[in-house]
């Protein structure tokens, strides 16, 4: 039997700086985790949030840092990427970023007196991002809708 013998050498601090640990969380994973927490807050409040623009802006920022590191050192240093800071993600939920495209009733069939009846349970509000024209649809329950906008006016047509 042959033993596998290898040379063991402790890496220097400079070499360890550029190591990437297998299974380690990447800056993109950290960003997506933070983005999901912020986005969840807007979903709970039934407000639009532009996660698509946030992802694109982060990718652009990461690409720019990698490009500059490549130009300076000939390779991408991990220390440049690890120290990447996220911008304020709350700005992607600012209502000024959106334009209301449509407001539709959401019908749900419920059994009332053994008869299936359509009941309005809320509203689907479709928004469009003013910056990149992304479409965002938000479901708003009736209670929240009436609290924000008041009662929706019924259009009465006379025959």
20 within some domain: no
**Residue 12 resides in a domain:** no
What domain range includes position 109? 25-149
Closest Cα to residue 99, out of 121, 58, 132? 132
Whether 120 has a pLDDT exceeding 50, the answer reads: yes
Q: Is the pLDDT of residue 64 over 80?
A: yes
CA angle (38 as vertex; 129, 147 as ends), nearest 5 = 70
Of 53-57, 73-77, 155-159, which gets the smallest average pLDDT? 155-159
Tokens at 140, concatenated: 């708003």
Q: Residue 112 falls within a domain, yes or no?
A: yes
Each residue's pLDDT tens digit, 104-114: 888 889 888 88
Residue 92 lies inside a defined structural domain of this protein: yes
Q: Please indicate, yes or no, if residue 132 is contained in any of the structural domains.
A: yes
In DSSP notation, 63-110 reads HHHHHHHHHHHSS--HHHHHTPPP--GGGGG-GGGEEEEEEEEEEEEE
Q: What confidence tens digit (pLDDT) does each residue in 10-49 have?
A: 888 887 777 766 766 778 888 999 999 999 999 999 999 9
**Residue 9 maps to a domain:** no
Residue 85 lies in a domain: yes
Question: How many structural domains compose the chain?
Answer: 1
Q: Is residue 159 part of a domain?
A: no
- Model confidence at 153: pLDDT above 80: no
Q: What's the predicted TM-score (pTM) here?
A: 0.72
């Amino acid at each position: 039997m042959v033993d596998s013998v290898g040379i063991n050498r402790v890496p220097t601090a400079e070499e360890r700086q550029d190591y990437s640990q297998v299974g380690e969380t990447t800056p993109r994973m950290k960003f997506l985790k933070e983005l999901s927490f912020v986005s969840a807050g807007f979903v709970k409040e039934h407000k639009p949030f532009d996660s698509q623009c946030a992802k694109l802006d982060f990718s652009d920022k990461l690409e720019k840092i990698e490009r500059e590191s490549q130009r300076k050192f000939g390779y991408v240093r991990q220390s440049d990427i690890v120290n990447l800071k996220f911008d304020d993600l709350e700005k992607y939920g600012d209502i000024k970023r959106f334009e209301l495209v449509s407001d539709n009733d959401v019908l749900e069939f419920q059994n009332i007196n053994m008869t299936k009846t359509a009941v309005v349970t809320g509203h689907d509000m479709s928004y469009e991002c003013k910056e990149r024209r992304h479409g965002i649809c938000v479901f708003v329950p009736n209670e929240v809708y009436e609290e924000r906008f008041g009662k929706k006016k019924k259009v009465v047509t006379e025959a």
